[in-house]
Amino acid sequence: MSRQHVAPNTRSYNALLSACERAEQPDRALEVLLNMRRRAPAAWGYIDPNAVTFNTVMSATARAGRWEAFIMIGSNVRATMLTQDHFMSEADYQGMQASSTC
């Protein structure tokens, strides 16, 4: 996108995250999320992670069995005051916390 002088936005980041999820690349998804969060303050609302963002990264980490990363993202959801949707209910979150301490 940068080669064509098109600025990325939340939708384009979410599309990239979805591709990472489908390709089973949770580490790449985490890198993309970190990059997205670094760029967000300068993007004036065009690159704000949303529920789709977090759910996609959480799905990628859960599929790979990366429970620590899953819980970290869940904590970020809580910290940014996003509401949880059907992907991550409170029961799911508690279950993941319990299984990661075993």
Model pLDDT for residues 28-73, shown as the tens digit of each residue: 999 999 999 898 888 887 888 888 998 899 999 999 999 999 988 8
Average pLDDT score over the chain: 81
Cα separation, 49 vs 54, whole angstroms: 7
Per-position b or e across 21-31, b if 16+ CB within 10 A of its CB: beeeebebbbe
The domain segmentation of the chain, as residue ranges, is 2-100
Which of 14-18, 32-36, 41-45, 80-84 has the weakest average pLDDT? 80-84
Q: Which residue has the tokens 């080669």?
A: 3
Cα separation, 35 vs 12, whole angstroms: 13
pLDDT score recorded for residue 98:
58
Structure token digits, residue 33:
């999320």
